[in-house]
Structure 1
Amino acid sequence: MGILQNLLFTICIALRCVTSAVGLIHVTGYVGSIVNVSCSYDEGYESYEKYLCKNDCGDSDVLITTSESWKNKYRINDDKTARIFTTTISDLHSEDAGKYWCGVTRSGKDIYTEVELKLVPDSCCGTVTTVQSYEGYSESVSCPYDSQYQNNLKYICRGNRPSKCLQQALITSNNRENGRFSLNDEKMSRKFTVTISSLTQSDSGSYLCGIQRNSELDVLSAIELKVKEWCCVKSTKVTGTAGHPLTLQCPYPSQNQDNRKFLCKGDHRNSCRDMVMSESRLALRDDIYSSSFSVMFTKLEEADAGTYWCGSDSQWRVGNYTKIQLSVVFQQHTSTVPSTMEIPGKTTTHKKTTTQNRPNKDAGQYVVYAVPAVLLLLICVLVVAVYQCKHQKVKDGKAVMNRNAENEEGLEEVTAGAENNIYGNEEVVRYKQQSACNNYDDVGEDEPDYENFTTSEEVYCNENFHRR
């Protein structure tokens, strides 16, 4: 009889525990992430101990209590003002799924709230919306939602991990401006729109539109954004000569055949200046048959160097565009300078050819000052040469006159001496005359023996000489 009473008492306690459970809370978490289990309690139980347990809530099934706020991967926090205590479970695994109990300790019987935890993979989503745009553009992404979520928090994040999306949100409906991102919630049409300005190719990737929910997973939708290069930009380098004409070739897509064509200058297309409209030196010619146009500089200037863009659409929509890097150089010219090389007995003139770069500045001053200096130098050299020539002639004339005078004086002395000695040295004279005679008669023969000759023999010899 006692055993039956104990059994009935145990069943009664079990029934009372079950009936004391308040509702059922469904919680869903992502594998590998964290989940919050929040349970409310009635007024008057603020100071009571709260806990989270699993299975039958035996002593070994209690996971954490408010008297020990952190245990293993569980944390608990009691908000006594809101009368809600929340247990956070981190590092979720598949075996963490199942039934839990939120408990409030009290004498006699505890108050329990049943919790059903469900785990899903940390990824999203089955359907992905693709949005394409181009670098430099602004693009808007629309995220629809149900009417029941009009007042819920909206946000957008990058990536495809729902568990971290809200924590890594780029912008939310509570803060509608953040750098290049802006959010507009259109509650009447039940969608919120996120606009991204000044797109770059690095903005390409996966995004998640999110709507926050309290105890359930947030409502998410996946978007794949593809930012392409501002289409078909061809870069080329061109070099022109200052003072000469230059023509630039610019192809364009066939669909832009009827559009106005232009050439603008600037490091970036968004801030370049239309050169055809502002420069009269430029002439544009469109060839619709080759889907290209040409721009000619009638006279290239140094300031024309820089970056140019060939355009065929004033809105800079997608198309074939050409980026041109123009360099300006100066024309080279050749000058011939004569040079003289002196060789003994001969003077040779050579032509020396030099090539110089055309100066950028002060070229006129160089010509004005350099040419008169050369002429002045040549004139000075010519005057000195003429002066030396005249001086030399005068000097040579005086020298000739002096030599003539000396010769005349010497001749007179010789004549006078000959007259004085002609009789005293007859034999010597005859000897000399005979030698002269022999020199004319027997050139190359042995010299004869010399004897004293008489006057008649000397005369005969002279006669023979004169006959010859």
Structure 2
Amino acid sequence: MIKCEHPQHKTKPKYICKESDGCSERRNPGVQHEWMENGDVSLYDDTRAGVLMVFFRELKAADAGTYRCGVNVSHYTESFTELQLNVKHDAKYPKSVTESAHLGEEVNITCQIPEEHEVHFCKEDDNNICQNISSSKVTQMNGSSERNEERVFTVIISNVSVRDAGVYWCGAETRDTYLTFISLNTKVQLNFT
């Protein structure tokens, strides 16, 4: 996921495009405050925060390249930030894990990330969009998130209920001035036994 911030142009239409394609296909949500699918990409224009969220599903090598994340300031003017998207698989991180739990018990979900990044943990919603649940700064679920030198963190979900079942993702978050990159590297399927 990529978050492009345009705080000075919160309500203006935002877009993302690939420069190697000459930016011929500008993807924009078309609506505000609602996830919109555009091929294998989902987009969300948050005008309250001035942020365009771009969620790539099933990244492929062909998705790599230079992108523009921009905003149409006026009919003749735009403002954009260039970003480089690299697609690579790191074999030291498992792609998929299945965890089982009993209702009312506690489940520990353990993930690895590169040490220099912040932790990102999210759960897929009905639209297959990964909604933030916890980061190394904020915990929004019943549980805790820990980080240590071994680049491992554990999310503990206590008193597991039916609504906790589903697909979670572990990943790393990198921030720049107006860009946030979230790389989701491990899929965790939580089932009940």
Q: TM-score, normalised by structure 2?
A: 0.49
Greater RCO, CA 8 A, separation 6+: 2
Which is helix-richer, 1 or 2?
1
Q: TM-score, normalised by structure 1?
A: 0.23
**Greater Rg by CA:** 1
